[in-house]
Amino acid sequence: MRSAGVSLRLSVPVDSCLVMRKQCPNCGYPVQTCLCHAVQPVTNYTEVIILQHPKESRHAKNTVRLLNLALSNITVIRGKLAVDFTELEQYLRADPKPTAVFYPAEQSTEFSHGAEKASARIKRAIFIDASWKQAYGIWQNNAWLNRYPFFKLPLHQSGQYTIRNSDLEYSFSTLEAVAYTLASLEQLDPAPLLRLLNTLTAQWQRFLPQRD
């Protein structure tokens, strides 16, 4: 991601809990749960930026790793405090394309309300990848995010990520949030991303103990 001399070269680290196992050199998952067959490249014109909590980056069930495999236009930055995102903030100032934050904050507007108008303007979408408590902390510690409009996904959307349950409203995996947002902004088919998510879920369920 480059603009006006500012360069961000950031990537998602390989999950530390997977390092001890033999991994697929392409997708980075253990060979027995390789996801290469399920990855369908997705060309997205909206610039997707993920603010990822460091603990979330080490979670084996994290879905941003899947987005990194599939999307053509994505940057993932780990951090918690404003100082962790200084380079990103400078980049955004240097390249002031229409930007929105997709997080259910108090000031967030439901994206279905006015999505048609918003989709014509938004060229960059920022998401927070973390547990609910961690995401709230990132939002609170990064006042610079409030320069941009906030949106939340409509409640009638249903999350499909069943191996990380939550009873909270607006409880979507980051992959689902990105997929539904790109579907609204670009009329991009979310099916390739959702199939990848479902494949990960099925792989995990293969190794869960069976209940009678």
User: String of b and e for 51-72 (b: at least 16 CB within 10 Å)?
Assistant: bbbeebbebeebbbbbbbbbbe
Q: What is the pLDDT of residues 171-194, one digit of tens each?
A: 688 999 999 999 988 889 999 999
Region 144-173 average pLDDT: 68
Q: Are 50 and 76 in contact (CB under 8 A)?
A: yes
Residue 108: how many other CB atoms lie within 10 Å: 17
Residue 40 has pLDDT above 90, yes or no: yes
Provide the pLDDT for residue 106. Answer: 83
Region 205-210 average pLDDT: 60
Nearest C-alpha neighbor of 180 from the set 106, 115, 131, 108? 115
Q: What is the pLDDT of residues 111-135, one digit of tens each?
A: 765 555 666 689 999 999 998 899 9
Q: Are 73 and 44 in contact (CB under 8 A)?
A: yes
Nearest C-alpha neighbor of 103 from the set 127, 123, 82? 127
Provide the pLDDT for residue 61. Answer: 80
C-alpha angle 169-203-39 in degrees, rounded to nearest 5: 85
Domain boundaries, the chain: 2-206
Residue 131: how many other CB atoms lie within 10 Å: 14
Q: How many CA atoms lie within 13 A of 11 on its CB side?
A: 5
